[in-house]
Chains A and B, each alone.
Chain A
Amino acid sequence: MQLHEIEHPAAAVFQVKGRLDSTSTPELEKKVLLSLDRGVRHLILDFSELEYINSAGLRVLVMGYQRLNPLGGHVVVCGVRDYIAEIFDISGYDRIFNMCADMERALREIDPTPDGQ
């Protein structure tokens, strides 16, 4: 797995490439927890280059939701490949995460004003 964190004033933004499984998930979990502890309002996951995710990876997203939802924050997941999107559908998690086609729409989800004003 390759993990890239992008700076954003209102959200923790992570691009995840490759496999998110029991071996690689602790690295993402650690960074997500650090962001949540810093008081970040939203979490954005760019999964456009994600090839695999199992329940360990999904748990990190659910953990983010459980921390952010009571504060009015969102977990936004973007760019998910079709065969992985199926997992979000059958699990029902597509109803708690904001699912977007790409990063541009994901950023709009957390700040719907055109210029971020």
Chain B
Amino acid sequence: MTARLDFALLHPEEDHAGLLAAVEEFADTQALPAALRYRLGLVVDELVSNCIAHGARTGRDRGIRVGITDHGGTILIEIVDAGTPFDPTSYTSRRCLDDGDVRVGGMGLCLVRNLAAQIDYSREGGFNRTRVTLAKCTQENACNSMK
């Protein structure tokens, strides 16, 4: 049985904390284990933070829409925003720290890439549509197909 959360951030900076609280509540309702609850909150947090940092600055299209669907075996996160076209699947899925090179920029996306079982991106009608699938398992190595 599927369950879904839809959340619209009309004023993304101000609504960000409310979104994360709603995600926590959804995780509670779905009785998600601690590791999955953390992954879900972190992925949503990082993707929306990225939209806020690089997204549309003015106008009616500043808003960000977030949808979370619990499909039983997987959780699908959909983020839709009207910001600058940005394809997160083009970003490296390597570890955030490589060969002693400590990178600070792009850390959030690096975490998302490594936590996701799958990421899909499309640009439709002037909107970025990012879909992240989380596997519902607790062993990090088994969950992660991209590392």
Residues of chain A at the chain B interface (Cβ within 8 Å)? 21-23, 52, 54-56, 58-59, 62-63, 65-66, 81-84, 86-87, 89-93, 95-96
Contact = CB atoms under 8 A, between A and B. Distances in A.
A95 B97 contact: yes
Interface of B is mostly: helix
Contacts of B20: 21
Interface residues of B, number: 27
Interface of B: 16-17, 20, 34-35, 37-38, 41-42, 45-46, 49, 95-98, 102, 104, 107-108, 110-111, 114-115, 140, 144, 147
B104 A59 contact: yes
Contact of B102 (A66, A81, A87): A66
Contacts of B42: 52, 54, 87
Nearest to A95: B97
Given A91-B97, A96-B97, A96-B102, A55 B35 contact: no
Contacts, number: 66
A54 B109 CA distance: 11
Contacts of A93: 96-97
A22 B102 contact: no
A58 B105 CA distance: 11
A87 B35 contact: no
A52 B98 contact: no
B40 to A, nearest CB: 11
B138 to A, nearest CB: 9
Nearest to B147: A90
A95 to B, nearest CB: 6
A84 B140 CA distance: 11
Give me the 7 closest cross-chain CB pairs, A-B, nearest first: A92-B97, A55-B108, A92-B95, A83-B35, A91-B96, A55-B107, A90-B114
A84 B107 CA distance: 15
A96 B140 CA distance: 20
Contacts of A95: 97
Contacts of A52: 38, 41-42
Contacts of B144: 90
A93 B45 CA distance: 20
